[in-house]
Amino acid sequence: MASKLPLLTTGRTGSTGSVGGSVATEIVKAGYKIRALVRNDEKGRYLRETLTNSHGADAVELSHTASLTDREAIESAMQGCAGVVHVASDISTRNDPEEVIAPTVSAVKVLLEAACKTPSVKRFVFTSSLATLPSAREEVDITSSSWAPDSVIESAWAIQDSGLPEEQKGLVVYAASKILAERACWDFMRERAPHFVLNTVVPFTNIGAFVHPKLVSSFNGLVLGVWLGDAQASTFFKKVMQGAGVSHLINLEDCGLLHLAALTLDDVRGERILAAADAFKFNDILDVMNKLDPARMLPESLEHEPGVKASIDKARCKELLARLGKAEPTGLEESIKQAITSGTGVIYSS
């Protein structure tokens, strides 16, 4: 693998989001350089500041684009790159499928087409989502070949007539966008048989250290919001946990390492890697926070919180982490401590 890898972002998340930041960090730690394609220049500077401070001035190169459907910008940014990591995703929870699904699928197709035109690209890694899988609150065995039912996509296109609460509508639309985008990746490989290898990483719930305290986003941002007493974050967090089936942790560093494996390990080819560790509930997060600071004001616990019924195949996740130096995935308590410390600058011990 050559030394330069682009990480691509739409501006809402990507290399400047929680997952993208962890992916960028692990790639740079492994001795590679990255080219981060950013839409928000300020966030890009925070990413570069963090990684250049710890890994040298040439660790990160920034490239700007207004859109991931800008073919010219994408093809230019990809020149000379050995691999592509498409981390970016629209997690705005907007409930208009036309505004979310179509651009998400178009972007991945533009990136794949650009990779076809770039002989130096050897690997393409797509960051998927647990939303592409069956609910972990059903009695089912979830493996790398498992997919959410087509009814999720059908529901997304008819979401305005669903009667769901507004925040739930956005989550259904998001799920459909990730299902269709990942399917587009595999369809492209089957139909076009390009010169590069595709792997996808399917992260469950990402919690861990923020790459920079100004780059707070995603589920990890909700965890920090609960800790800081943000009532809006706590309310939304509860609704997500009750309704969307969040069920298993993946530490952000571990998620970054799994992307590194998908990029660089020669025998990891054409794989769908499930990134999952401990099962947890909302009340488990509150228990950890109470342990760290018994005097802290926290939200009320949830009554009758649904539990995890599915069996998740974690064997490949553990195997790949072990090959990259992690004997075991990081657990919930340590992951929450990392989120709090990196987000506040205060170190807590239990």
C-alpha distances in Å from residue 315, one per residue of 143, 268, 277, 329, 335: 10, 14, 10, 11, 20
Print pLDDT tens along the chain (350 aa): 544 554 444 333 344 467 888 898 999 999 888 888 877 777 777 777 878 887 888 888 888 777 888 999 899 989 989 999 999 888 777 888 999 999 999 999 999 999 999 999 999 999 999 999 999 888 999 999 999 999 999 999 999 888 888 778 888 999 999 999 999 999 999 999 999 999 999 999 999 998 876 767 678 889 999 999 999 888 888 877 776 555 799 999 999 999 999 999 999 999 999 999 999 989 999 999 999 999 999 999 988 777 788 999 999 999 999 999 999 999 999 999 999 999 888 777 66
Query: CB under 8 Å to 10, separation ≥6 — which residues?
Result: 39, 67, 68, 88, 89, 90, 107
Evaluate the CA torsion angle 81, 268, 47, 92 in order and state its sign: positive
Half-sphere exposure of 279 (CA within 13 A, CB side): 13
CA distance 215 to 44: 10
Which residues share a beta bridge with 291?
Answer: none
Q: What is the pTM of this model?
A: 0.93
Q: What is the DSSP string of 97-110?
A: HHHHHHHHHHHHHH
CB neighbour class for 150 (10 Å; exposed up to 12, middle 13-18, buried from 19): exposed
Q: What is the DSSP letter of 3?
A: S
List, in sequence order, every beta strand (DSSP E) within 235-331.
249-251, 272-275, 311-312
What domains does the chain contain, in order, with CATH numbers? 4-344 (3.40.50.720)
pLDDT of residue 94: 85
Buried b (16+ CB within 10 A) or exposed e, 107-118: bbebbbbbbeeb
3-state secondary structure 21-68: HHHHHHHHHCCCEEEEEECCHHHHHHHHHHHHHHHCCCCEEEEECCCC
SS3 119: coil
